[in-house]
Amino acid sequence: MRAGQLRYYIYAILSMLFWGLTFVWFKIAVDYYEPITIIFIRLVLSSALLFLFVRIGKWNERIQKSDYKWFALLSLSQPFFYFLGESFGLKYVSSTVSSAIIATIPLFSPLAAMWFTRERINIYTWLGIVVSFIGIIIMLVNPDLSLNAAPKGIFLLFFAVFSAVVYSVIVKKLTHKYSAITIISRQNLIGAFYFLPFFIFFDFNDFILVKPDVDLILALLQLAVFGSCLAYLFFIMAVANLGMVKANIFTNLIPVFTAVAAYFVLSEVLNLQKIVGILFVVLGILVSQYEGILQLINRNNK
């Protein structure tokens, strides 16, 4: 691990912190609005903020015509398919368990990385993935081997997982040409247009009946600013510099952050089973980064 790379590890951790918190904020917002409404508002707010930021900073980049299809596919995989799976899955599954399922993304990312981006996967990365996945299983399965969640919710969340893996492959391709803020601003804007007809036809009548209060407004702003702006910016910078597989391994931290936040904000139970699962997740991440940590220690000792 080079000293200059440390900030990208920090970016990866911050993106997972913000995404972990989105499960809690979404649980608050879903008491008022349907999932599609929440996603649409989140994307509209984040798009407005990002384009304002681009204009102020004069960082606008022209998209090549040959890349239009990649941006369309990027936005289709995430936010469209990903948020459909995650948001509707959250209606049937607790925020902690939902985030644990989403954290299986690193299990599938190495396969996609080998097939599409030709990334080299070392033994420590594979071992770390296995250890972290054991932690996630501990969180998902009860002592009697029954699931902690409804099968319908689990299916929807795994649909989100595969969408996220596809997203990682496409975003890795685009980071060679465009900055993180360009990718995110276009991604969220196109995603908002994908959701617009669903919002109008299915949710608009219910949307206008809701009188927003402070809790709802705060949850939506947090989802937009932290979940759809900062988290994606940090993640794309991490993918560009650490690689798809290493960046996605940090996804295993999401259930850790969610479990702690849900305990304090939603009063979800943080029992011994979840604590043990969290410890395995963290151990798996440390194992996966063993080579980089060892290099940094040796460099500092010289």
Digit-coded pLDDT (tens) for 143-181 = 766 766 678 888 898 899 899 888 888 888 898 888 888
Q: Which pLDDT score, from 0 to 100, does residue 292 have? A: 64
Is the model's pLDDT at 3 over the cut of 60?
no
Q: What is the average pLDDT across 107-119? A: 68
Residue 17 pLDDT: 93
Summarised one tens digit per residue, pLDDT across range 198-207 is 999 999 999 9
Q: Which pLDDT value is given to residue 286? A: 77
What tens digit of pLDDT does each residue of 12-46 get?
Answer: 999 999 998 998 899 899 899 998 999 999 999 99
> How confident is the model over 225-271, as pLDDT tens digits?
999 999 989 988 888 888 877 787 787 788 788 888 888 887 777 78
DSSP secondary structure letters along the chain:
--GGGHHHHHHHHHHHHHHHHHHHHHHHHTTTS-HHHHHHHHHHHHHHHHHHHHHHHT---PPPGGGHHHHHHHHIIIIIIHHHHHHHHTTTS-HHHHHHHHTTHHHHHHHHIIIII-----HHHHHHHHHHHHHHHHHHB-TTS-BSS-HHHHHHHHHHHHHHHHHHHHHHHHTTTS-HHHHHHHHHHHHHHHHHHHIIIIIHHHHTT----HHHHHHHHHIIIIIIIIHHHHHHHHHHHH-HHHHHHGGGGHHHHHHHHHHHHT-----HHHHHHHHHHHHHHHHHTHHHHHHHHHHHH-
Q: What residue numbers bound the domain in which 90 lies?
A: 3-301
How large is the average pLDDT for residues 262-284?
Answer: 81
Number of structural domains found in the chain: 1
pLDDT greater than 80 at residue 290: no
Residue 2 pLDDT more than 60?
A: no
CA angle 227, 138, 246 (to 5 degrees): 50
Average pLDDT of the chain is 84
pLDDT value for 145: 61
Confidence of residue 188 (pLDDT cuts 50, 70, 90): very high
Q: Considering only 133-142, 179-188, 210-219, 253-262, which range has the smallest mean pLDDT?
A: 133-142
Give 150: exposed, middle or buried? Use CB within 10 Å, 0-12, 13-18, 19+: middle
Amino acid 207: pLDDT: 94
Tell me the mean pLDDT in the region 70-97.
87
